[in-house]
Amino acid sequence: MAVPDRDVETFLADERFSKVFTYPPDPAQGRPNALRISYADYGYRNTENPNVEKVFLFFGPLLGSRMLHIAKDALAKEYGVRIINADRPGFGDTPDVDAEGRLAFWRKALFALLQHLQIRHVHLGAQSAGTVYAVDFILHYPEMLYSHNAYLAIGAPWIHPSHSRIWYMSVTNALPRFLLVQVDKLASLFSVVSAPILETSFGLTSALGTWFATQPAGDDASTAVDPAVAFAEALDPKLADFIYAMPVHGISNESIVLMKKTQGTSGWADWVDYDVLVPRLKTAMAENGQCLVVDCFLVRQTP
């Protein structure tokens, strides 16, 4: 099923995918100037009754972009889901932030964005590197989760090489910090890495289906070519070009964070690693009278 290029270009130009939030200055927090944060806000909207919107805050993978899952726009509308996906520091129009303050900056910036959008509660989704940012956000802002059905979907969770012991990740982890600082130059030269990123979608369809345990309106088991699938396939190459036309230099500081090479700490933010975070998160959720449901989607191995 052929999809005209003009349809794809028109879709990419949709203003919902290229919004900007001005993060106010706060000298006390070391932020003397206002900062621009680019984000996408799409899917289902109900301006007359926003409370019926089910908000899904997404944390993308390394080299991810606010544009990563925009092909799920129609799907999200069918399920009544509003998706918020922001460019992390050093990607898109969001300015870069040093590795040492990156997690704290991002959790506070996202909280400010949600306040700006008058969003009171969210469900969360994370893919790969986004896992670290997502659980950090939940730990510090558990009140932002829905009180009756708090939910986190994780696709291909980020595991530090000291735990995963994957050989090529262990080699990367052995690299000194001064080499990790140069990672952005490689990413800019070899945009071929966009292919696996775009193809490792953790199955947002599965996440939404599990979350609501319902079928979208008009579900059909027909074997005919799905127009949504055809459109997504036509969108992917254009989407990769769009993403790499924007800044991606944040990958250097992001790599430093993910490999725990930040100065002055042995791990991630104030919780170091998942084994410390889990009991702290359990306590935080209990204090709010909440129970968090976590679905983990792993990469499927091909024979």
Task: Evaluate whether residue 117 is within a structural domain.
Answer: yes
Domain that holds residue 165: 8-297
Domains identified in the chain, total number: 1
pLDDT number for residue 243: 85
Q: Is 40 left (phi over 0), alpha (psi -120 to 50) or beta?
A: beta
- The confidence score (pLDDT) of residue 184 equals 64
127 φ, ψ (degrees, to nearest 5): -130, 125
Q: Give me the percent of the chain exceeding a pLDDT of 70.
A: 78
Average pLDDT for 12-37? 96
Q: Is residue 303 part of a domain?
A: no
- CATH number of domain containing 197: 3.40.50
pTM score: 0.84
Domain assignment present for residue 302? The answer is no
pLDDT in tens, 123-134: 999 999 999 999
The answer to whether position 178 is within a domain reads yes
pLDDT value, residue 187: 59
- The DSSP annotation for 177-240 comes to HHHHTTHHHHHHH-GGGHHHHHH----HHHHHHHHH--PPTT-----SPPHHHHHHHHHHHHHH
* d(C-alpha 277, C-alpha 152), whole Å: 15
* 3 within a domain of the structure (yes/no): no
Please name the residue ranges forming H helices in 45-193: 73-79, 102-116, 130-140, 161-164, 167-174, 177-180, 183-189
The pLDDT tens digits of the residues spanning 139-172 come to 999 999 998 899 999 998 998 888 776 645 544 5
* Residue 144 located in a structural domain: yes
